[in-house]
Amino acid sequence: MGWLEAIVLGIVQGLTEFLPISSSAHVSIVGQLFFDGRDPGAAFTAVTQLGTETAVLVFFWNDITRIIKRWCLALAGKVPK
Protein backbone atom coordinates (compact mmCIF):
# COMPACT_ATOMS: atom_id res chain seq x y z
CA MET A 1 0.00 0.00 0.00
CA GLY A 2 1.41 3.36 -1.01
CA TRP A 3 1.31 6.63 0.86
CA LEU A 4 -1.42 8.13 -1.33
CA GLU A 5 -3.67 5.11 -0.85
CA ALA A 6 -3.11 5.14 2.92
CA ILE A 7 -3.85 8.88 3.14
CA VAL A 8 -7.04 8.63 1.07
CA LEU A 9 -8.30 5.61 3.01
CA GLY A 10 -7.41 7.29 6.30
CA ILE A 11 -9.42 10.36 5.31
CA VAL A 12 -12.38 8.16 4.35
CA GLN A 13 -12.09 6.38 7.72
CA GLY A 14 -11.93 9.66 9.62
CA LEU A 15 -14.87 11.22 7.80
CA THR A 16 -17.17 8.21 8.10
CA GLU A 17 -16.28 6.90 11.57
CA PHE A 18 -18.65 9.13 13.52
CA LEU A 19 -21.52 8.98 11.05
CA PRO A 20 -24.20 6.32 11.46
CA ILE A 21 -22.75 4.38 8.52
CA SER A 22 -20.14 1.64 8.30
CA SER A 23 -16.72 3.27 8.07
CA SER A 24 -15.07 -0.11 7.51
CA ALA A 25 -17.32 -0.83 4.54
CA HIS A 26 -16.60 2.59 3.05
CA VAL A 27 -12.84 2.07 3.41
CA SER A 28 -13.17 -1.33 1.73
CA ILE A 29 -15.35 0.03 -1.09
CA VAL A 30 -13.06 3.01 -1.76
CA GLY A 31 -10.05 0.69 -1.77
CA GLN A 32 -11.74 -1.61 -4.27
CA LEU A 33 -13.03 1.18 -6.52
CA PHE A 34 -10.00 3.43 -6.71
CA PHE A 35 -6.98 1.25 -5.95
CA ASP A 36 -6.94 -1.68 -8.40
CA GLY A 37 -9.69 -3.58 -6.63
CA ARG A 38 -7.56 -4.28 -3.57
CA ASP A 39 -9.10 -4.54 -0.13
CA PRO A 40 -6.97 -2.53 2.33
CA GLY A 41 -6.89 -5.54 4.64
CA ALA A 42 -7.46 -6.25 8.29
CA ALA A 43 -4.16 -4.76 9.47
CA PHE A 44 -4.86 -1.37 7.90
CA THR A 45 -8.41 -1.38 9.23
CA ALA A 46 -7.18 -2.24 12.72
CA VAL A 47 -4.62 0.57 12.69
CA THR A 48 -7.17 3.14 11.52
CA GLN A 49 -9.60 1.95 14.21
CA LEU A 50 -6.86 2.41 16.83
CA GLY A 51 -6.24 5.90 15.49
CA THR A 52 -9.92 6.73 15.83
CA GLU A 53 -10.01 5.33 19.36
CA THR A 54 -6.94 7.34 20.34
CA ALA A 55 -8.46 10.53 18.94
CA VAL A 56 -11.64 9.98 20.96
CA LEU A 57 -9.67 9.32 24.15
CA VAL A 58 -7.56 12.46 23.66
CA PHE A 59 -10.59 14.62 22.87
CA PHE A 60 -12.63 13.38 25.84
CA TRP A 61 -9.73 12.84 28.27
CA ASN A 62 -10.92 15.43 30.83
CA ASP A 63 -14.45 14.04 30.83
CA ILE A 64 -13.24 10.45 31.12
CA THR A 65 -10.92 11.19 34.05
CA ARG A 66 -13.65 13.18 35.83
CA ILE A 67 -16.11 10.31 35.45
CA ILE A 68 -13.57 7.76 36.71
CA LYS A 69 -12.63 9.93 39.72
CA ARG A 70 -16.27 10.42 40.69
CA TRP A 71 -16.96 6.72 40.24
CA CYS A 72 -14.05 5.83 42.54
CA LEU A 73 -15.28 8.36 45.12
CA ALA A 74 -18.77 6.88 44.93
CA LEU A 75 -17.36 3.39 45.54
CA ALA A 76 -15.52 4.72 48.59
CA GLY A 77 -18.72 6.32 49.89
CA LYS A 78 -17.48 9.88 49.42
CA VAL A 79 -19.91 11.25 46.88
CA PRO A 80 -19.11 14.90 46.06
CA LYS A 81 -21.89 17.39 46.61
11-55 tens-digit pLDDT: 888 888 888 888 888 888 888 888 777 777 788 888 888 988 999
Asked if residue 80 is part of any domain, the answer here is: no
pTM over 0.85: no
- Alpha-carbon torsion, ordered 19, 52, 29, 11, to 10 deg: 90
Residue 13 DSSP code: H
- Look at residue 31 and tell me if it is in a domain: yes
Domain count, the chain: 1
* Residue 71 within a domain: yes
Does some domain include residue 43?
Answer: yes
SS3 57: helix
**In a domain? residue 32:** yes
Max CA pair span of the chain: 60
Cα angle 27, 43, 45; round to 5? 25
For 14, the domain range is 3-75
Question: How sure is the predictor about 81, in pLDDT bands with cuts at 50, 70 and 90?
Answer: low
